[in-house]
Amino acid sequence: MTLGRAFSVAMRGVEGHLVEIEADISNGLPGVHLVGLADAALQESRDRVRAAINNCGFTWPQTRLTLALSPATLPKMGSVYDLALATAVLAAEGKKAWPRLEKTVLLGELALDGRVRPVKGVLPAVWAAQRQGWPAVVVPIDNLAEASLIEGIEVWGARTLAQVRAWLAGKGDLHPRIDDPQQAPAVSADLADVVGQAQARRAVEVAAAGGHNLVMTGPPGVGKTMLAQRLPGLLPPLTQDESLEVTAIHSIAGLLTGDAPLITRPPFVAPHHTSSVAALVGGGSGMARPGAVSRAHRGVLFLDEFAEINSGALEALRTPLEDGVIRLARREGVASYPCRFQLVLAANLCPCAPPDPRDCICPAAARRRYRSRLSGPLLDRVDLRVEMHASRAGTFAEEPGESTAAVRERVWAARHAAAQRWRPHGISTNAEVSGALLRRTYRLGSEAMKPLKTAVDRGVLSIRGMDRTLRVAWTLNDLAGGSSPTREQVLQALSYRQAGERS
Amino acid sequence: MTKTDRRAEIGALGEQLAVDHLTGLGLTILDRNWRCRYGELDIVAADDTARMVVFVEVKTRTGDGFGGAAAAVTPAKVRRLRRLAGLWLAANRGGWAGVRIDVVAITMGRTRTPQLIHLEAVGS
């Protein structure tokens, strides 16, 4: 047999496609011909694989060698195929079939001395192999913890090419799966650290309980950023499936740490306000890579100083915010990444941002321009608006504010109540409920609806605004443990709506 | 004996071995060391049964230190051979049914009898 065959996985966004790699040794002048839409990094793998094979003491064929990656029309990129290419060559050169090779997916980059180097995107690749019913996968030893998160498939960690070959021939062992990967350390930011700001703390609690988007405005140094950072701590941990989804995205972005790969807590992503559209929603040449919105999937996307973000980037957030998924078309195909995140925005009141708004020295035009950023279509999708003021009273109070643990209990109870109520409709948080459902099936009594009716009649509230107010009212009700929102709760919800609109 | 002389001698010896090999296969040698301003063709042979002219590049090595004899025929060298083949065909009359470029790689020194590898039709 002068034909060797091995298998690997090509990633397209978070989807994995099985790739069959064939090596054919035929008569002709010595040379390596790599076919199958390989990118630059993959073209270079010819030299890596050759050096690795020679340095491991195996022989490289001194004739014409054709390496084919199929499906041939699928663009392949990166160094993840090195290990599979090398074993295909070894199988062809050794003229023997290893039964294990036919049933194993191989992932990993090779160093020139034959070590197997870690690669990005191992978790979704292993996941794809498992879904397609492959019995075993070999990954670089440094990615073993990550790959071990997938159940229902044999996972082996390889240190060198020689080790893999010995294992294929049945003469050696690879590292077995790591059964109990460490957990990432808990976040230490506590809500008790925030001084004063009772109203904003309440807004954060409501946002956490209902999954609502939140915007905070106020002078610098009042704790906007601190509060936003403490929001993920209030959210319940991710379920097993959510964890894998989030970890898969982070794996593709190359952000996982080696020893504690599984992300079990909602991620908190805070891109800088100079970020471009591509940095926020994802992009890049060839195949699009995930951006901040996808890294914040099932977590919190915090945009500090959002009035400074260029408006194109901000507007690009609108569709992902609505759809919960973003499709990015690039030269080598369409990548689709999930991005169901909770948006938290923070901004000063004007460009000069004095501690007291009355000391503002900005020209009226600059103020107006800045203010126009604080409204607009993106803010229309935000349920909770809170204006914060420099606190004087309460700053040096003896009693610290409530701790994260205390608030978290209420938040989890409220989330549980909401999940119970919406389960028949296939949703879990108040923020996702459709307007029709709120206005028909879960219609409030006329007494509770009165403030809303007045607001709509006076033209200060749109129909969409009414739906959003109702969602917040439901969350307030869940936090209070009631069965249906009361008039007071609707009024309170309305106050969150209008806070940013005055002046 | 200088180094250059020795190299030329090895080359000539290799070419003689290649000629013996080709005549053994039933080919007729038409030309040896045909030169023009663009280079040199080592052996031009004719396969009379297929009415095919065969241009043969001979590479002789005494060791594998630089990747073997066959590996020394680079893509650039193959391109040069194709061009020379065209020039030879233009300069010589004859109705041929086909043209082929072969490489004969000879490794000497390791074993008593030199190892000879004949690669056919490398110019495709």
Q: Collect all residues of chain A within an 8 Å Cβ-Cβ radius of residue B103.
A: 29
* Fold (CATH) for B3-119: Trna Endonuclease; Chain: A, domain 1 (3.40.1350)
The arithmetic mean of pLDDT across residues B28-54, rounded, is 91
pLDDT at A387: 86
- Counting one residue from chain A and one from chain B, the pairs whose CB atoms sit within 8 A come to 21
pLDDT at A78: 87
pLDDT tops 80 at residue B35 = yes
Contact B71 A27 (CB under 8 A): no
Contact A63 B103 (CB under 8 A): no
For an interface test with A, give the residue of B81, B120, B122, B124 to mutate (most A CBs within 10 A).
B122
A30 Cβ under 8 Å from any chain B Cβ: yes
Q: Answer yes or no: are the C-beta atoms of A209 and A236 closer than 8 Å.
A: no
CA distance A161 to chain B (A): 23
pLDDT at A503: 31
Q: In chain A, which residue's Cα lies nearest the Cα of B70?
A: A29
Q: In chain B, which residue's Cα lies nearest the Cα of A29?
A: B70
For an interface test with B, give the residue of A62, A63, A65, A66 to mutate (most B CBs within 10 A).
A62
pLDDT at B67: 72
Q: Answer yes or no: are the C-beta atoms of A300 and A267 closer than 8 Å.
A: yes
Confidence of residue B84 (pLDDT cuts 50, 70, 90): very high
* Fold (CATH) for A3-168: Ribosomal Protein S5; domain 2 (3.30.230)
Q: What is the Cα–Cα distance from A477 to A465, expressed in whole angstroms?
A: 18
Query: What residue spans of A332-430 are helical by DSSP H?
Result: 364-373, 376-379, 404-422
B71 Cβ under 8 Å from any chain A Cβ: yes
CATH class of A191-392+400-406: alpha beta
pLDDT at A186: 66
Residue with tokens 């915090």: A302
Report residue A107 as tokens: 């992932």
pLDDT at A378: 79
Contact B73 A31 (CB under 8 A): no
Contact B120 A62 (CB under 8 A): no
A170 Cβ under 8 Å from any chain B Cβ: no
Q: What angle do CA A118, A122, A126 make, to 5 degrees?
A: 135
Report residue A308 as tokens: 């400074």
DSSP string, A29-57: SSEEEEESSB-HHHHTHHHHHHHHHHHTT
Contact B67 A30 (CB under 8 A): yes
Residues in chain A: 503
A18: β partners: A9
Contact B71 A62 (CB under 8 A): yes
Q: What is the Cα–Cα distance from A100 to A7, expressed in whole angstroms?
A: 11
B20 Cβ under 8 Å from any chain A Cβ: no
A462 Cβ under 8 Å from any chain B Cβ: no
Q: What is the Cα–Cα distance from A195 to A192, expressed in whole angstroms?
A: 8
Distance between start and end Cα atoms, chain B:
40
Sequence spans of domains, chain A: 3-168, 191-392+400-406, 433-503
| pTM over cut 0.90 | no
CA A257 to chain CA mean position, Å:
15
Residue ranges in chain A modelled with pLDDT below 50: 500-503
- Among A107, A232, A100, A218, which residue's Cα sits nearest to residue A169? A100
Contact A62 B119 (CB under 8 A): no
pLDDT at A96: 75
Q: What is the Cα–Cα distance from A88 to A68, expressed in whole angstroms?
A: 10
pLDDT tops 80 at residue B123 = no
B73 Cβ under 8 Å from any chain A Cβ: yes
Q: Collect all residues of chain B within an 8 Å Cβ-Cβ radius of residue A31.
A: 75
Q: Answer yes or no: are the C-beta atoms of A148 and A181 closer than 8 Å.
A: yes
CA distance B69 to chain A (A): 10
Nearest to A28 among B67, B68, B122 (CB): B122
